[in-house]
Chains A and B, each alone.
Chain A
């Protein structure tokens, strides 16, 4: 018994305890009453305060995607002990577990018999979010993890720290963002007009979309053109509209567009909500009808011309399937033999085809007589247009 330090301390502090059993009995009784009294008072405080906690209606304020969510909590303290340092801390994590927003409320002291309101305020400030997180926030429905901590104390008796984890659904303001087939029309002699259908659903419960949406048309990393439109999509609403972009004709890959009906370009949609800018990119097909669609070359027919050259004729045809563009071009070129050496030339030939019509013509030229056996030939045709010169390589048999 002498080895128990706390007992020794008690006896050193109160030497009379060594002698008086009666004094000890009194002290035990007092300590018992104190303990039971403290426990009872604490229990009464807990039992009376708990039902008086009222969680109010969630208030949200959003301007763009910036805003805040506030939860008012009313606490009445009808108990005999005061409540001190009541505070709440809340952290919101994205689906990858990265902390995005943090907020809280308090600290608050509530004396016995009084009521106070604690507002738990979580500001949604997207300005400092990484762009990848912001893009995900805007375009992907997801669940946020919420971690909240409640701290408080009954002075000198109890310290309390409660933590809770939960998830709250986040609806993407630009959910199912899609860009459809861009429709092409001439705007003027130097620009094309692309109408890019864009649609999305604002699945968010709080965020209203009202922003200038910019669209960039790109080929690889080159910006070919763009456009801007003010969009409005209140929360819960769907948006579907075409955004008009303008592209300079000389910036387009005309060597593809001259001969092929459809082509694909990268479309980047950029916007800004509040102070936060965002961008998404998609490949979109352009509803393009080629002015020299289905260019086909017939059989090469040679005739003797002189001792050095043989003349040739070569029928060709195409359809100007563009509803807007006439073909006004000249074509010339070279003939390359199977050895890879240039063995002849194509005479300059003018082509004039109206939009929406078929065209047939005959190319002509000369081949070295000594090279007539170097078949098949490769015709390197150069189409000279107002938008530049475009090469088309075609293999023909002699």
Chain B
């Protein structure tokens, strides 16, 4: 029997949770840290040789430098979220996960207005830029994260109410 905070987990349950947490955190690290930091390497073999550097530079400009760091933070909280599900700090972890995911989405969409610079070497003699207003789509994709924050808050309040009720019943029995 493993005891975490207020959780009493059987070995099998704990092992399964740990495994799930590791898998989920690994997927998060891959998607939110490894892919952004190794984007050029990952796409370079699919790019035409003569234009690869221009395309790589263009795509690199799409990724916010803060995204990998936030990605690591998301992986950490996701890991602990699975591990501590049902505990008294689960609401806090869930809210934190929602906040970090929202921030991740915000960074991914560059605040809703994505700017792509077209370098002059990409298409012969042409340079330029593309500005995409994706604000509505960004909010739509942020909505699950925002609702997760709400859920975290509700769980925090429920845990607080539970603690208050427990202390009141102890006082009454005493």
Q: Are B146 and A6 in contact (CB under 8 A)?
A: yes
Cα A6 to Cα B98 with chains together (Å): 13
Given contacts A1-B152, A18-B154, contact A158 B137 (CB under 8 A): yes
Chain B residues with a Cβ under 8 A of chain A: 95, 118, 125-134, 136-137, 140-141, 143-144, 146-158
**With an 8 A cutoff between CB atoms, is A304 at the interface?**
no
Among the listed stretches A163-171, A217-225, A338-346, which one makes contact with chain B, having 4 or more residues with CB under 8 Å of it?
A163-171
Does A212 interact with chain B (Cβ within 8 Å)?
Answer: no
Q: Are A38 and B130 in contact (CB under 8 A)?
A: no
Q: A6-B146, A34-B140, A35-B144 are in contact. Are A161 and B130 (CB under 8 A)?
A: yes
CB of A73 within 8 Å of the partner chain = no
Tell me if B150 and A24 are in contact (CB < 8 A): yes
Interface size range on A against B: 35 or more
**Known contacts A21-B155, A162-B131, A165-B126; A157/B136 CB under 8 A:** yes
Kindly list chain A residues whose C-beta atoms are within 8 Å of the C-beta of B157. 18
Chain B: which residue is nearest A156 at the CB level? B136
- Inter-chain CB contacts under 8 Å: number: 91
Binds B, one of A25-33, A132-140, A246-254: A25-33
Residue among A1, A6, A165 with most chain B CB within 10 A:
A1
Q: Which residues of A contact B128 (CB under 8 A)?
A: 162-165
Contact (A1, B156) CB under 8 Å given A27-B147, A34-B143, A39-B137: yes
Sample (6) of A-B pairs whose CB atoms are under 8 Å apart: A10-B146, A11-B150, A21-B155, A34-B140, A35-B143, A165-B126
Which of chain A's residues 144-166 have a Cβ closer than 8 Å to chain B? 153, 156-166
> Chain B residues near A162 (CB, 8 Å)?
128-131
A4 partner, pick from B127, B134, B147, B149, beta carbons under 8 A = B149
Q: A35-B143, A160-B131 are in contact. List 5 more A-B contacts (CB 8 A).
A: A6-B146, A27-B147, A35-B140, A160-B130, A161-B132
B146 CB → nearest A CB, Å:
6
CB distance from A144 to the nearest CB of B (A): 12
